[in-house]
Amino acid sequence: MPDYAWPDQEHRTLIGKRITRVDSPVKVSGQAKYTYDVHRPGMLYGKVLRCPYAHAKVVSIDTSAAERMPGVKAVEIVQKPNANIHWAGDDVVAVAAVDEPTAEDAIRAIQVEYQKLPHLVSDAEPPQGATQEEGPLSMNDIDDLLDNQVPNRQIVEKIQQYGVTEKPTEDKLKSFKSSGANDAVLNALREATVHPEAASRPKSNYEKAAAQTVGDPDKAMAEAEVVSEGLYGVPVITHCCLESHGTISEWPDADHLLTHISTQNVSGIPGQMAEPLAIPASNIHVHQDHVGGGFGSKFSPDRWGIFTAQISKKAQGKPVRIMLERDAELEVAGARPSAYARVKVGAKRDGTLVAWQSESWGTGGPGGGGMPPIPYVFTIPHQRKEHTAIRNNIGPARAWRAPNHPQAAVLTMCALDDLAAKLNMDPVEFFGKNLDITKPRQDIYREELGIAANLMGWNEKWHPRAQNRSGNITRGVGLSLHTWGGRGHNSDCDLTLHPDGSVDLKLGSQDLGTGTRTCILIVAADTLGVPMDAIQLEIGDTTYPPSGGSGGSTTIGGVSSSTRRAAVDARDLLFAKVAPTLDAQPDQLECVNGRVGVKGDSHRSLSWKEACAKLGAMPITVRGTNPDRTKPPDLTNSGVGGVQMAEVEVDTDTGIVKVEKMVAVQDCGLVIDLKTAESQCYGALIMGISYSLFEEKVMDPTTGRMLNANLEFYRLAGFNDIPELVVHMMTGKGYDERGVIGLGEPPVVSPGAAISNAVANAIGVRVPFLPLTPDRVLAALGQKAGA
């Protein structure tokens, strides 16, 4: 059996080093082609007429004027009369025209009559008595739960408790599976009690989504020596990908579709387009070179992706492009659910956590949503938790980098930090003291806490709350812990060795700018002992072996494992061909520095090219797969720990918060490329600062519209809002041998909590909700009069 295991430290030439990203040159020179940049011959420009109301029924649509316009090639009614629309900005009619101005004119010429219906766009605390018991679940409810990334365990509990309104078909189950349902959910659905009569039950805006009790929380809380109560929360924010969502579809012939799409999920797109287009998935060719951000919002073809194909068909198969405008991108193409909670948490005088009680609520738009995993990281022995999901008309939620975790971190770590303050304990000591209930990662956290405290200069900077104040400028520090799974997804790759020594590698994966291309090449080059630029890597196309979607920090584990297995198999096949020439057994051979030779005998070797010439006339192609139990060991793993600390400066006269420094200490098992891994952490800290200080999807109560669907009032942190950032990756013994674990999500979890805690440390009171804007900070300071 070949040895697929990751090489140990002294046998790695590239893995774990700081390697420069291979896709940088095309990006810095403007040559990288994104879907938005693809200009197909004869391409038509699509535009979408969007509903201006948050909740409405389509009464009538008149597209005749648009259809008569010169240059308009197709008009597609997406939502027909009588359709109910549940959020402003939802698509109603799409058109395609010879150029963009003409398409805009056509949209303006369409008349739609709506009947306005009452809407709710608030996610404020549910009024007393408004909450309805959850009833039997419709298949739409299940879709919504999955869209909202509600943990599978919670979905199973609901199904078992309430049953369903109809028996799911096998096709439906398959689609649930592709949306993230695990086998437990599918089995629960198969076995659920069916209550067809409940299908017509009117739905409240407020549903009790979770109620859990662990241990004896009442007794534990009564016996707790110190109890802290507080209100915490994070609003709905958007993904705000700089490259908006969009697709270009064309029909090379009547049965085959070619789609360029901005996606995190190249291999998964055909399967999702096949059914609505009524063609086999194998007839759908998807291609993407680069993607301008996804952050969890680009896994599906989207309705607009489907209708580019439908419009193209109407327009004799010509390419039709729809890229969302910025306002639509922010209104309809993804949002992170909000989460708020009243939390009560109790400890012994020595800081030992004993009891947790929370009443939480939040919205993921029409789907409501589930309870974030609280208390987060710390398994407090006695808990009572209730969560109310608010179904409203703000538009649908999508997975947002580390779904549910940033919310859980704020609700938990801020509550614990307030408790530490009440105990007069330094949070490093307090969190450190409770690490026993973070099993199995207590040792990781302990080591990381120490490193982070050193890098932050925590001992010099921390002070009891609101002390060390002079004048209106005050500083504070805060911390947070986080975790994430990150096991590698399914990935296949084909590696071909050619007799001339060239190597190519093909995967249907995608590089979100995380370093995926670079890491694949590192693994292949390290294994084959050739330079990275000797390997021709192709990704982003459905003609290549499929790889999973890039979500949940699953890509690196998947593609590195499949690449490693393919490269090892190819190498061993080559060894078998070369061994007779070198008068050695295949298992005596190694390939390093562009040569294939006998281990320990530098005289018996061939150049890579000479070695490959021994393949004969035909190239050899091997398929690498992850997971692959026939080719152990498991090269990927799950479950990381990270600690972050923030230092802030607050102007107590203006309420303006500036982050002064952040430290991220992060474990992700075996690091493939230290440089791009660190960049993931830097990026996550920056995104975290942005959502902690600035980001919020602002909805108008009267009109139900998003008020800040632009980049002037949907503020993203700028260059100057970012302070000194320190990133420390945990590597070496204890980490490397765990295998490869994903890194996209974990470092973006903690910034909100760490920054909020730093502000509380600085100003002496908790600002309950993110973002930490001047109005909220001043309100927390009690609107201190006087400048």
Considering the complex, state which of residue 52 and residue 276 has its C-beta at the smaller distance from another protein: 52
Contact with another protein (CB under 8 A): which of 269, 328, 684, 755? 684
Question: 602-612 in b/e burial notation, b at 16+ Cβ within 10 A?
Answer: eebbbebbebb
Considering the complex, state which of residue 325 and residue 429 has its C-beta at the smaller distance from another protein: 325
Considering the complex, state which of residue 34 and residue 232 has its C-beta at the smaller distance from another protein: 34
Q: Residue 509 carries which DSSP code?
A: -
Q: Which residues inside 600-619 make contact with another protein, applying CB under 8 A?
A: none
3-class state of residue 153 by DSSP? helix
Q: Residue 489 carries which DSSP code?
A: -
> Is the peptide bond preceding residue 396 cis, with omega within 30 degrees of 0?
no
Residue span binding another protein (CB under 8 A) among the ranges 350-358, 376-384, 633-641, 779-787: 779-787
769 touches another protein (CB under 8 A): no
713 touches another protein (CB under 8 A): yes
Q: CB of 297: closest distance to another protein in angstroms?
A: 11
Considering the complex, state which of residue 122 and residue 607 has its C-beta at the smaller distance from another protein: 122
HSE-up of 497 (CA within 13 Å, CB side)? 28
Measured in whole angstroms, the distance separating CA 69 from the mean position of its chain's CA atoms is 42
- The pair phi, psi for residue 602, each rounded to 5°, is -70, -15
Contact with another protein (CB under 8 A): which of 252, 632, 701, 734? 701
Considering the complex, state which of residue 208 and residue 715 has its C-beta at the smaller distance from another protein: 715
Question: 50 has which bridge partners?
Answer: 91
Q: Which residues inside 308-367 make contact with another protein, applying CB under 8 A?
A: 323, 325-326
- Enter the tokens of residue 706: 């998003």
Considering the complex, state which of residue 100 and residue 737 has its C-beta at the smaller distance from another protein: 100
In angstroms, the CA 229 to CA 345 distance is: 7
Q: Which residues inside 247-276 make contact with another protein, applying CB under 8 A?
A: none
Q: Which residues inside 54-113 make contact with another protein, applying CB under 8 A?
A: 69-71, 99-102, 104-105, 108
- The pair phi, psi for residue 8, each rounded to 5°, is -75, 175
Considering the complex, state which of residue 284 and residue 685 has its C-beta at the smaller distance from another protein: 685
Q: Which residues inside 191-250 make contact with another protein, applying CB under 8 A?
A: 240-244
Residues binding another protein: what is the number (CB under 8 A)? Answer: 93
Short-list 127, 177, 123, CA closest to 152:
177
Considering the complex, state which of residue 71 and residue 485 has its C-beta at the smaller distance from another protein: 71
3 touches another protein (CB under 8 A): no
- The pair phi, psi for residue 517, each rounded to 5°, is -55, -50
In angstroms, the CA 659 to CA 655 distance is: 13
Considering the complex, state which of residue 446 and residue 715 has its C-beta at the smaller distance from another protein: 715
Q: CB of 12: closest distance to another protein in angstroms?
A: 20
Q: How many CB atoms lie within 10 A of CB 708?
A: 18
Considering the complex, state which of residue 126 and residue 683 has its C-beta at the smaller distance from another protein: 683
Contact with another protein (CB under 8 A): which of 693, 741, 753, 755? 693
Q: Which residues inside 28-57 make contact with another protein, applying CB under 8 A?
A: 28-34, 36-37, 39
Q: How many CB atoms lie within 10 A of CB 224?
A: 21
Considering the complex, state which of residue 466 and residue 722 has its C-beta at the smaller distance from another protein: 722
- Enter the tokens of residue 159: 């199904």
Residue span binding another protein (CB under 8 A) among the ranges 8-16, 79-87, 554-562, 713-721: 713-721
Considering the complex, state which of residue 363 and residue 527 has its C-beta at the smaller distance from another protein: 363
What would the x/- binding string for another protein be over residues 462 to 501, using CB under 8 A?
----------------------------------------
3-class state of residue 758 by DSSP? helix
Residues 707/519, Cβ–Cβ less than 8 Å: no
Q: CB of 346: closest distance to another protein in angstroms?
A: 34
Report the relative pairing of strands 339-347 and 91-97 from DSSP bridges.
unpaired
Report the relative pairing of strands 246-253 and 320-323 from DSSP bridges.
antiparallel
Contacts of 667 by beta carbon, 8 Å cutoff, 6+ apart = 444, 448, 640, 641, 642, 729, 730, 735, 741
290 touches another protein (CB under 8 A): yes
Measured in whole angstroms, the distance separating CA 174 from the mean position of its chain's CA atoms is 22
Q: Residue 709 carries which DSSP code?
A: -
Q: CB of 122: closest distance to another protein in angstroms?
A: 11
Q: CB of 480: closest distance to another protein in angstroms?
A: 18
What are the Cα distances from residue 58, in Å, to 88, 111, 113, 391? Answer: 13, 11, 6, 21
Q: Which residues inside 508-527 make contact with another protein, applying CB under 8 A?
A: 512-514
Q: Which residues inside 625-664 make contact with another protein, applying CB under 8 A?
A: 653-656, 658
3-state SS track over 532-583: HHHEEEECCECCCCCECCCCCCCHHHHHHHHHHHHHHHHHHHHHHHHCCCCC
Contact with another protein (CB under 8 A): which of 533, 719, 733, 782? 719
Residue span binding another protein (CB under 8 A) among the ranges 23-31, 357-365, 403-411, 489-497: 23-31
722 touches another protein (CB under 8 A): yes
Q: CB of 47: closest distance to another protein in angstroms?
A: 12
Considering the complex, state which of residue 469 and residue 595 has its C-beta at the smaller distance from another protein: 469
